[in-house]
Amino acid sequence: MKRNRIIEATLSVIVCGALVAPAALAAVPALAASTPASVMAAAAAAQATPAAAVETPALKPAPVLVVSSYKTTKDRLLVGSAFTLTLNVRNETARRAENVVVSLASASSAGTGEAGAAAGGLTVLGTGNAKYLGQLRGKTTEAVSFKAVAGPGTPPGATTVPVTISFEYDGERHDLAYTIGLVFDRAAGLTVSAAEIPKTARVGKSFDASFELANSGSFTVPGMSMSVETTGGTVADANLFVGAFEAAAAETIDVSITPKKAGPMQVVLVAKYHDDFGRDKVYRSVHTVNVQGEPKATGDSTKTDTKEAKQDGNWLTRFFKALFGMGA
């Protein structure tokens, strides 16, 4: 009887050290025959009773922070020239975000915040690549600015810059990754390395001038042509086609200039070329020549000669000059 009470109080039967469900007992005739009916019924009832549902707390959706817009201080971004990038970060939800940090970096490196860290070919100047905004309430926008520069090795054209917005909400940290696009251009390094041109000239008198143009940049300038223009004269041999102007190369143009009027005359060396996007660009170097008018006769010498001629024509004068040895 004691053995049967123990079995009746059990919801499952242990066979060879394993728990056996009532369905398994019924499937085995030998086990079903040796198991009391009350145990089988209790086990079946327990198995039919559903387990109590576990309540899962409702998830709170995190705020959504986006880069709503951005701008730069310069319309034309040049490789190697510093500029300021301003990002407008907006909280699109009504929920408040805490400890907001904006980084010019991917999510994997956003937490470094190292000064000068590169992001999409950019180098942040003066501060680290991460800026702390703090709290950002719902439906509000905050601006954050970075002073940056594209290094000399940055290729011209469109560049994608990764932006990571990190914040806390409901005790958890969230990272949102975005990218923005910037277009970079290269400035041609053109300089006049030598100029031979007089400071003064005369109207109608031609003079020679020579200009040497150097490419001090690190890349070839395509479609180069040179010419010389003036504001008050004519220029002979005024045009020179160069074509591809190699880096560290120099080209010379020699011209002859004839001033047409007196006064300051501007002599301008003009270099036309194409930039990295095929657009026409112009470089100018201005030089000034002071043009003087033709000299005017004073008339004094003519009057003197005429007076002396009249005196020599008087016979009395010639007599006394001959008498006293005053003759010419």
For 249-304, the pLDDT digits (tens) are 999 999 999 999 999 999 999 999 999 999 999 999 999 999 999 877 665 555 55
Q: Is residue 303 part of a domain?
A: no
Q: How confident is the model at residue 119 (pLDDT cuts 50, 70, 90)?
A: low
- What are residue 86's phi and psi, to 5 degrees? -115, 125
144-190 pLDDT tens trace: 999 999 988 889 999 999 999 999 999 999 999 999 999 999 999 99
Q: Is residue 50 part of a domain?
A: no
Domain range for 16: 2-40
Q: Is residue 54 part of a domain?
A: no
Considering the domain architecture, whether residues 167 and 209 belong to the same structural domain is answered as no
Give the distance from CA 136 to its chain's centroid.
29
Q: Is residue 46 part of a domain?
A: no
Last residue of a domain, one of 129, 152, 185: 185
Checking if the pLDDT of 52 tops 70, the result is no
Dmax over Cα atoms in the chain, in whole Å? Answer: 190
Considering the domain architecture, whether residues 158 and 266 belong to the same structural domain is answered as no
Q: Is residue 228 part of a domain?
A: yes
Res 12: pLDDT: 44
pTM value is: 0.65
Considering the domain architecture, whether residues 87 and 154 belong to the same structural domain is answered as yes
Considering the domain architecture, whether residues 152 and 231 belong to the same structural domain is answered as no
Number of domains comprising the chain: 3
- CATH value at residue 105: 2.60.40.10
Q: Is residue 150 part of a domain?
A: yes
Considering the domain architecture, whether residues 71 and 154 belong to the same structural domain is answered as yes
Measured CA to CA, the distance from residue 209 to residue 2 in angstroms comes to: 128
